Amino acid sequence: MYRRAPSGFGLGSGPPPPRDVLVLLGVVFVTFSLQFFLSTRPLMEALELTPAVWRLGFIWQVVTYAFIGQPEEPIWFLLTLLILFWFGRDVYRALGRRSFWRTLLTGVVAASVVAVPVAFLMSLLGALPEYPFVLIQGQHILTLVLVAAFATLYADATILLFFVLPIQARMFLWLEILIAFLYFLFSKDLPGFVGTCAAVGMVYSSLRMGGPFKLFREWKLRIEKLILQERMRRMRAKKGFRVVKDDDDVRRGPWVN
């Protein structure tokens, strides 16, 4: 479906980078910087994904959390921005502006909508970790969604993992889940891990299967077909009807086309 080859991971390769991707990186960098000022830190906390979603009704957090850059070692943060640039550039060029943002927001919302109920149930059981949603907060979910989109759009492309190990792009879908699971073992962030799986699955289904609603409709039709076949079988058994299979029980005559 998408025949255009990826641009590669050089900073200067290909045409100028999409403006939308640069704006996305700029927003993450600005919000990351605002985390370090006492006057702006409360605002950033109000936009992050926290238990305040159900405790205080901060519904907007299910979307805004993705654009609040999370504090971490400067070298890792800059590396994350570089990864966002590399993968975001190719995803944008393959999808265009409208589909790019729709895919990004679909993955972001899918992760939070699934993670929040899990966190809520864990809070009722008294098992909520100290820092829930850490696996999907800020630039982490953006990277997750864009890499999953790249792996879906350019499934047959070969990427040098760590610039050494060649691997097909489609394997990044499983690699993301594996890495999230390893981080889950250390952080105990079950809501974040479940949200990770939901985001990867949603991005894949949206780009390869027409979206979750089309997928749901197909499964609904399949189930309805199975139910109808079972009803017909019961009716035939109840009335003593026998199904005659073609070419098995009936010998065709020369007059049958």
pTM given for the model: 0.76
Name the residue among 99, 139, 131 with its Cα closest to residue 115.
131
Is residue 3 predicted with pLDDT exceeding 50? no
Give the whole-angstrom CA distance, residue 239 versus residue 162: 67
Locate tokens 């985001």: which residue?
199
What value does the CA radius of gyration of the chain take, rounded to a whole number of Å? 24
* Right CATH for 19-208 from 3.30.750.24, 1.10.1040.50, 3.90.700.10, 1.20.1540.10: 1.20.1540.10
Q: What is the pLDDT, as a whole number, of residue 7?
A: 60
Q: What is the pLDDT, as a whole number, of residue 66?
A: 95
Long-range contacts of 13-20 (CB under 8 A, 24+ apart): 14/89, 17/85, 17/89, 18/88, 18/89, 18/92, 18/93, 18/97, 20/92, 20/97, 20/100, 20/101
Give the whole-angstrom CA distance, residue 149 versus residue 208: 10
Contact 116, 54 (CB under 8 A): yes
Locate tokens 């972001």: which residue?
108
List 168's β-bridge partners, or say none.
Answer: 158
SS3 72: coil
Q: What is the pLDDT, as a whole number, of residue 146?
A: 95
Contact 48, 68 (CB under 8 A): yes
pLDDT in tens, 161-188: 665 677 787 888 998 999 999 999 999 9
Is residue 206 predicted with pLDDT exceeding 90? no
Mean pLDDT confidence for 140-154? 93
Q: What is the pLDDT, as a whole number, of residue 240?
A: 62
pLDDT in tens, 79-100: 999 999 989 999 999 999 999 9
